[in-house]
Amino acid sequence: MRHSSDDLPLALYSATQVRALDAALIAVGTPGFELMRRAAHAIWRALRREWPDAGALTVLAGHGNNAGDGYLIAALAQRAGWQARVLAVGEPQRLQGDAARACDEARAAGVEVRAWQADAQPQGVLVDALLGTGLAGEVREPHAAAIEWINRSGCPVLAVDIPSGICADTGQVLGAAVKAQLTVTLIGLKLGLYLGSALDHVGRLVFDSLQADPQIVSHQQAAAWRLAGDLLPLVPARQPTTHKGQLGHLLVVGGDQGTGGAALLSAQSALRGGAGMVSLATRAEHVGAAQARLPEVMSLAVASANQLHALADKVTVWVVGPGLGQAAWGRSLLSAAAASGGAQVWDADALNLLAAGAVRIAPGSVITPHPGEAARLLGISIAALQADRPAAARALARRYEVVCVLKGAGTLVADPVGRLLVCDRGDPVMAGAGLGDVLAGLIGALIAQGCSAWQAACLGVWVHACAGESLAHKGNGLAAGDLCDAIRHLLEERAACRK
């Protein structure tokens, strides 16, 4: 499981932006080879910290500057008394410029450099210096075979800058990708390191700025930002005189015949998330269970939208969709919510009805699709959506003029003006039923307490993920109700530290 590391920078860059950073640093007087030398030292330090007694390493080198880093790492290891060798993949004669100079330096240090063959014996720590930010398209042979060789070796693996085969912009595997235990990334964090399949390939992540001029790095308009650090201070403060009327009235609308649980979970989460008053508009069959399980929630048996119209002016925020279904009952309630003028958080079937064009969503609302719902909203396949999650999140935010929370490994939060945040907290244990209902209720609760849609989405995603992390020890099959309690605990900790 990856732990967020708060000493990592917040800004996340595309491959193009990082190459521009490299060029900008070189332009202000740091030679490319000096950057490469610093990279090698940073990586060699991280390697020795991780595997101090290995005594041997094998660099798999491609043809570009990623390979150049690898050759210089081998030279440092050889000079430190380790047994270092480089297996050159493809035609080493294609090395140019700084990378060719780095190869010469490795040979001069006594490093054995020879062509990689599929029957080569892996030895010591494997250093993946095949491909970095220069990867273009699906990995070609013989690099793909070398990647499979690394992954089958059973040896510890360090990836230079980014695991070879991982797209630096989307985190997607382009044909084949190295699975590393440790990735040392340089100058700027790449957005792709936090998305999708990359999470299964990066291992522990170490960053080194190579003493890059912060003036330059900060000037670049980052592709995205990490949701990192302690966001709990953003939770609206409560004064001693605060009363529930100041903490908003949240209405959950959902739970058609047979699907009452989802709406109940959203209501429970809204309660634990601190909303002043929580009501639940659901089918009559679920009211008994709701009252028994959540007596604090005002549960209403709703047969038609008229009953919601009567409520509308008392409701601060509507959380619509959990267990709503897509039949006439659900459609009519969703239309009432859309016409209410209150803040909206739409999830699950509300999004499917939106995708079907059955209703329009008010600008400034929050939507919380999982990849399937997002693909339907965009009219694309899930595979196409997952191939570039940042683009999908941004497209949804712009198309509907909403804050879009695109759930999944590396949950994204996008707004219509182009802001994009990535959550690198959470745990695979959270891949379970009902956790989306909990997130929707939590985001609604934060809006009820005064957060903007953007703040509530970012903070809700972060609190939800951190609460899930705190339950990782429970193993798979995390109960959504436990997550609600963990969220309450996290927010109570926050309230306590404010006293």
Ligand X SMILES: NC(=O)C1=CN([C@@H]2O[C@H](COP(=O)(O)OP(=O)(O)OC[C@H]3O[C@@H](n4cnc5c(N)ncnc54)[C@H](O)[C@@H]3O)[C@@H](O)[C@H]2O)[C@H](O)CC1
- Chain positions contacting ligand X, by CB under 6 A: 22, 32, 35-36, 39, 62-67, 69, 131-140, 143, 160-161, 186
Report the residue number, 173 or 337, with the smaller CB distance to ligand X: 173
Report the residue number, 42 or 319, with the smaller CB distance to ligand X: 42
Q: Is 179 annotated as a binding residue?
A: no
Q: What mask of x and - would describe binding to K ion in positions 393 to 422, judged by CB under 5 A?
A: ------------------------------
Residues 159-178 that bind K ion (CB under 5 A): 159-160, 164
Query: In whole angstroms, how large is the CA radius of gyration of the chain?
Result: 26
Shortest Å, Cβ 62 to ligand X = 5
- When CB distances are held under 5 to 8 angstroms depending on the partner's kind, the choice from K ion, ligand X, none that residue 249 binds is none
Report the residue number, 144 or 247, with the smaller CB distance to ligand X: 144
Q: Is 436 annotated as a binding residue?
A: yes
- All residues at 6 or more sequence positions from 286 whose CB lies less than 8 Å from its CB, including other chains: 255, 260, 263, 264, 299
Shortest Å, Cβ 132 to ligand X = 2
58 binds K ion (CB under 5 A): no
Binding residues for K ion, rule CB under 5 A, total: 4
269's tokens: 């989460």
Q: Is 464 annotated as a binding residue?
A: no
- All residues at 6 or more sequence positions from 457 whose CB lies less than 8 Å from its CB, including other chains: 366, 368, 403, 405, 413, 443
Q: Return the residue matching tokens 């047979």.
A: 258
Q: Is 135 annotated as a binding residue?
A: yes
Report the residue number, 187 or 334, with the smaller CB distance to ligand X: 187
User: End-to-end CA distance of the chain, in Å?
Assistant: 33
19's tokens: 């190459």
- When CB distances are held under 5 to 8 angstroms depending on the partner's kind, the choice from K ion, ligand X, none that residue 128 binds is K ion
**Please, are residues 362 and 334 in contact by the beta-carbon 8 Å criterion?**
no
Shortest Å, Cβ 360 to K ion = 46
Q: Is 411 annotated as a binding residue?
A: yes
- 83-88 and 112-115 strand pairing: parallel
CA nearest 142: which of 164, 112, 168, 127?
164
Cis preceding linkage at 142, omega within 30: yes
**Please, are residues 223 and 10 in contact by the beta-carbon 8 Å criterion?**
no
Phi, psi of 281 (to 5 degrees): -105, 115
- When CB distances are held under 5 to 8 angstroms depending on the partner's kind, the choice from K ion, ligand X, none that residue 164 binds is K ion
Overall residue count recorded for the chain in this entry: 499
Cα–Cα distance, 223 to 32 (Å, whole number):
24
**Please, are residues 413 and 458 in contact by the beta-carbon 8 Å criterion?**
yes
128 binds K ion (CB under 5 A): yes
Q: Is 128 annotated as a binding residue?
A: yes
Report the residue number, 161 or 415, with the smaller CB distance to ligand X: 161
103's tokens: 């190869």
Shortest Å, Cβ 173 to ligand X = 12
**Three-state SS across 232-252?**
HHHCCCCCCCCCHHHHCEEEE
Report the residue number, 164 or 282, with the smaller CB distance to ligand X: 164
- All residues at 6 or more sequence positions from 495 whose CB lies less than 8 Å from its CB, including other chains: 235, 238
Report the residue number, 125 or 305, with the smaller CB distance to K ion: 125
Shortest Å, Cβ 115 to ligand X = 16
Shortest Å, Cβ 274 to K ion = 45
- When CB distances are held under 5 to 8 angstroms depending on the partner's kind, the choice from ligand X, K ion, none that residue 22 binds is ligand X
Binding residues for AMP: 407-411, 436
Which positions lie near K ion, rule CB under 5 A? 128, 159-160, 164
- Residues forming the annotated binding site for K(+)? 66, 128, 164
Binding site, annotated residues = 66, 128, 132-138, 161, 164, 262, 323, 370, 407-411, 436-437
